[in-house]
Amino acid sequence: MLKEFINFDRLITGEIIKYLFWIGAAISVLMGIIAFLTGIVTGEFLGALFGLIFIIIGPLIVRIYCEIAIVFFKIYEVLKEINEK
């Protein structure tokens, strides 16, 4: 197992991306809430609207980026299987 890890035969990034999604989604929702509350407190309608939009769109954008990264790793795994055959 250590040899696979050292030679990069087994990739761990796929697992890390799953955690990065949840962290990124939480951060984007938190930023959206902060922007929304700041917009309400200061009376800026656009700031509050931006916060609401960011709460909805932020996790979606994070998810898209994570899926793209996972697709690259899946392509690598398939190419590796083809090469072994």
What's the pLDDT tens digit per position in 30-43? 999 999 999 999 99
Rounded to the nearest 5°, which phi and psi values hold at 42? -85, -10
Domain boundaries, the chain: 36-85
Q: Which residues of the chain register pLDDT less than 50?
A: none
Predicted local confidence at residue 77, as pLDDT? 84
To 10 degrees, the CA torsion angle through 45, 46, 49, 54? -150
Q: What is the pTM of this model?
A: 0.77
Predicted local confidence at residue 81, as pLDDT? 87
CA 41 to chain centre: 30
- Retrieve residue 82's tokens: 């083809």
User: Smallest Cα–Cα separation from 47: which of 55, 37, 56, 61?
Assistant: 37
